[in-house]
Chains A and B, each alone.
Chain A
Amino acid sequence: MTVRLVADGADRWRIDATGAMRVPGVVFAPGSLLPDLAEERALMQVVNVASLPGIVEASYAMPDVHWGYGFPIGGVAATDVERGGVVSPGGVGFDISCGVRLLVSPLDADELRPRVEDVMDELDARVPTGLGSGGVWELDGEAELSDLLAGGSRYVVERGLGVPSDLDRCEDRGCLAGAEPALVSEHARARGLHQVGSLGSGNHFLEVQWVDRVFDETAAAAFRLHRGRVCVMIHCGSRGLGHQVCSDHVRTMLGAMARFGIDVPDRQLACAPVESPEGSAYLGAMAAAANYARANRQVLTAAVRGAFERAVGTRHLDLLYDVSHNLAKLEWHVVGEGRRLLCVHRKGATLALPPGHADLPDDLRAIGQPVLVPGSMGTASYVLVGAEPGGAFHSACHGAGRTLSRHEAARRVSGAGLRRELQRRGIAVRAASARGLAEEAPMAYKDVDEVVASCERSGLARRVARLVPLGVVKG
């Protein structure tokens, strides 16, 4: 099947509803990225998602969309809970509540540069990465794991790893409501028990960055970002526990769909009504896994503060924001003429609340939510801010978006060569594996500058600041 895109506004393309589609598809992308998109199977996945029961408005794709499984990565879909709307674990992704947090240091790049190797050595020693590395925090056992799954970052801060003001700057104040630790399987718990405070592998990273460009002085000042400011970006998720929760519930829903009369074009789109036992069980376990991810990033924050204190004598790294880009949330939105309770799936898409939104912390309400967009390793990352009216249920992009497979990237680039190239550009690298490094080569990704500019043109979010790396810790 050929997917036909119809121009529908600035960086906005429509796929008219045909066949089993219940709503149209809407792709936010610059024209320059469309030739790539047209060849990708990501668009077919946008079409498939449009067939989910209860979906409203459109099956959306962000400018960084790429081929996933079931849902595209960079996909947003909302279903009407009271009208048979479904929740799909594949619409969240395996790495539940994978996300990003940004810490703002009191240092400028010129101050840090002479000591950056010391900082990187400390981070490398304190931040577990890769195979069998364990986590920063050894839990007491099952009971403490349950507390962490229920409390997320809040539990970690209560245990002394962090300060209460950290929670003011976390989505959901660091704890997603509705978590049901008892619904997390034994396998998932075993995988999570020893990984709290670890980066993992794949595309996850921790970067020491500095602000090289400011786009919006007012928002940047509110976020305490000015040119030269050193920040630390942490990108990771719920580790093995979250992946197991997704696997467990996809299997359950595959077995239950016939009972609900649901048929999906891709098994990874397995789903169940939000208001069914299966849907409810998934959301409870998913919230627990989301809290694990938030706790994981909070524990790593403590490790980063310790590393900076040891290497450069300051632990005052303030949290700008922590936001997920793989999650399903129950949210109220205006659809047509009324407010409806929706289950909003964001898979590789970031919540982007506009100025004035009630869920924002008091000191950011006039500005809007920081939207954190990690770029490809060694290039640039961005801080955006949610815009009014926004689009796609207040969503924006989550990264650069891959164009080359891991396989192809590793074929074209050597890990050792990439490490030398990054070092030549003044970027210190600490990596668990050379191949893992090569697979994340910048050439494997779209141009993040182009992706975020498209977000701005299409009104999803506005650019605030661009950050570039001084050092990378790679899982």
Chain B
Amino acid sequence: MPPSPGRGTRGHRIGPHTADCVIEAWGPDRCACLTEALRALVEIFAEAKAPAGEVPVTQVPLCAEPGPDIGILVALLEEVIYTTDVIGVPVRFQLWDADDGGVRGFMEVAAHSCVEQVGPIPKAVSYHEIEIGPRDGAWRCRAVIDV
């Protein structure tokens, strides 16, 4: 699990792994933590070329079926990776808990041309040392991302 996040109730960071990247995220509840993880994933490789609101986006639904939290984390991260390869770069996320125990939401996706590549592009999510769950009053997660 990531160490204590310090100030703020939600956030994320990108940490070292020899060949790839580790993302760590935290938030007051599961969806906040997952949302921060998705933001971290995009931060590895992309920056918007213009301020939020000035970049045209399309809304793409996000869905993770009910199941173990690790499965939900992987499903959402993989959906962002897939979208980046096939459609464009997700720049904003909105998630909520579904009644069935899964997670629903949407992401705002910008065209590749509207985003500057600032690092290697994520390709997959590893199960190596992956973690998610509540600890010390917050939800925290960690995943190694193949780039």
Contact = CB atoms under 8 A, between A and B. Distances in A.
A187 B82 contact: yes
Given A130-B121, A187-B82, A406-B120, A69 B115 contact: no
B127 A270 contact: yes
A403 B45 CA distance: 21
Interface string A258-298: 00000000111010000000000000000000000000000
29 contacts: A40-B18, A69-B126, A69-B144, A70-B127, A131-B121, A132-B113, A187-B82, A191-B85, A201-B121, A202-B120, A203-B19, A251-B74, A266-B129, A267-B127, A402-B19, A403-B18, A405-B16, A405-B19, A406-B19, A406-B119, A406-B147, A407-B14, A407-B17, A433-B116, A433-B118, A433-B119, A435-B118, A436-B119, A475-B120
B18 A266 contact: no
The interface residues of chain A, by DSSP majority, are classed as mixed
Interface residues of A, number: 47
Contacts of A405: 16-19
Contact of B19 (A68, A130, A246, A432): A68
B46 interface: yes
B20 A406 contact: yes
Shortest 4 CB-CB contacts between residues of A and residues of B: A132-B112, A69-B128, A405-B16, A267-B127
A206 B6 CA distance: 43
B125 interface: yes
A92 interface: no
Interface string A423-442: 00000000011111001000
B67 to A, nearest CB: 10
A229 interface: no
A405 B88 CA distance: 27
Interface of B: 14-21, 45-46, 74, 78, 81-82, 84-86, 88-89, 111-113, 115-121, 123-130, 144, 146-147
A73 interface: yes
Nearest to A436: B120
A222 interface: no
Interface in A70-99: 70, 73, 94-95
A345 to B, nearest CB: 16
A95 B124 CA distance: 9
A406 B21 contact: yes
A421 to B, nearest CB: 20
Contact of B45 (A131, A251, A267, A402): A131
A439 B119 contact: yes
Given A268-B128, A405-B16, A407-B21, 13 more contacts: A69-B144, A70-B128, A131-B112, A131-B121, A132-B88, A190-B86, A201-B120, A201-B121, A267-B130, A405-B17, A406-B147, A433-B117, A436-B117
A66 B147 CA distance: 16
Contact of A240 (B15, B74, B123): B123
A248 B52 CA distance: 34
Given A200-B121, A435-B119, A243 B15 contact: no
A131 B48 CA distance: 13
Contacts of B88: 132
A244 B82 contact: yes
A146 interface: no
Contacts of B46: 131
Nearest to A71: B128
A40 B19 CA distance: 13
Contact of B18 (A187, A270, A402): A402
Interface string A388-429: 000000000000001111111010000000000000000000
B121 A406 contact: no
Contacts of A132: 88-89, 111-113
Interface centre among B81, B88, B117 (most CB of A within 10 A): B117
A365 B114 CA distance: 52
Contacts of B123: 94-95, 200, 202, 240, 243
B127 A250 contact: yes
Given A94-B124, A266-B128, A130 B16 contact: no
A66 B19 contact: yes
B118 to A, nearest CB: 5
A250 B20 CA distance: 18
A22 to B, nearest CB: 21
A155 interface: no
Contact of B117 (A67, A130, A254): A130
A410 B20 CA distance: 12
B19 A73 contact: yes
A248 to B, nearest CB: 10
A247 interface: yes
Contacts of B127: 69-70, 250, 254, 266-268, 270
Interface in A199-213: 200-203
Nearest to A407: B16
Contacts of A250: 127
A408 B81 CA distance: 23
Contacts of A68: 18-19, 128
A161 to B, nearest CB: 23
Contacts of B19: 66-68, 73, 203, 402, 405-406
A433 B118 CA distance: 5
Nearest to A69: B128
A397 to B, nearest CB: 15
A408 B18 CA distance: 9
Nearest to A68: B19
Contacts of B119: 406, 410, 433, 435-436, 439
Contacts of B125: 247
